[in-house]
Amino acid sequence: MRSQTDNLGSKPQPRGVFHRSKKFWIILSVILIAIAIGLGVGLGVGLTQGSDSDSDSNPPSTTLVPTPNTTETYWQPKAGETWQIVLLNALKNTSLNVSVYDIDLFDNPTSTIDTLHAQNKKVICYFSAGSYEPNRPDSSQFTATDKGSELDGWPGEYWLQTDSSNVRQIMTSRLQLAKSKGCDGVDPDNVDGYDNENGLGLTTYSSVDYLGFLADNAHSLNLSIGLKNGGAIVDSVIQVMQWEVNEQCAQYNECPLFESFIEANKPVFQIEYPSGAPNVDASAKRSSCGNSSEQDFSTILKNMDLDEWLEEC
């Protein structure tokens, strides 16, 4: 409001303004004080709400740490498990001397999982949680607004908007399919959209929030769940992840990012893709395996297409 001095100028003011009763001025003062208090409270609320809004729009990745569910009895493997991963086609060889198989959720029938269980092996079922794949049985359920940029090197595959209610419903159905087939856990891939040109504004916070959603739903179905790659968010999600599946941390000198899993006695299922595979010489093997035995990583050598060929470190 302008001061009384601002109101006074060369033009004379009406006399009545200066000859109001004392009662009038008291009442007016009370009204003005009340208005000032109201404006102050309103401004304070507005500033607080504005601050919350700004925080929600771009929160740091470490602010959201999902809470582990300790009431369930899902499988919790220990560091050092041996394993095999086959994603190119349906699994054929179920007789390897390993304790864990990671296989495709859609390509493998329940009978394959039953066969592995009969040999006291655990089964992780793979699906892409962060990308649209055109050849999946449920691919028609995704909408155009669910999709972002195409994945580099994967024609026809697109990053997904992970906070989409439609995407989350589809993933809930995939988790239920894993449960119905008898999978012990799930391997949700492509949850690191923040580290790629995703076209959707996905951030580390997006990934942590999404993994919290996936973990809650997996655990409610008595399924274990692991983090795929995602070195930047390990500390934010390790409490609700039962393992790490990593690709090429030795090649890119990133293995220290995942040592927290070993410290928590959770496996790091590491894959390296040596040049020349499946014909890997001793030098290439040493380079790929690194010091995985000292780190207690469960490191294996694979072809890039993840067929049945395997060499352990």
**pLDDT tens profile 161-198:** 999 999 999 999 999 999 999 999 999 999 999 999 99
Total-model pTM: 0.78
Is the Cα torsion angle 189, 99, 123, 307 positive or negative in sign?
positive
Nearest C-alpha neighbor of 72 from the set 188, 213, 221, 244: 221
The DSSP 8-state label assigned to residue 250 in this structure reads: T
d(CA 108, CA 187): 14
d(CA 113, CA 101): 9
Provide the pLDDT confidence category of residue 271 given band limits of 50, 70 and 90: very high
d(CA 268, CA 251): 15
Predicted pLDDT of residue 67: 56
d(CA 221, CA 74): 8
Predicted pLDDT of residue 287: 84
Per CATH, domain 71-312 is 3.20.20.70: yes
For the chain, the average pLDDT equals: 83
d(CA 252, CA 260): 18
Nearest C-alpha neighbor of 81 from the set 94, 98, 65: 98
Q: How far is CA 42 from CA 36, 48, 54, 62, in A?
A: 10, 10, 18, 32
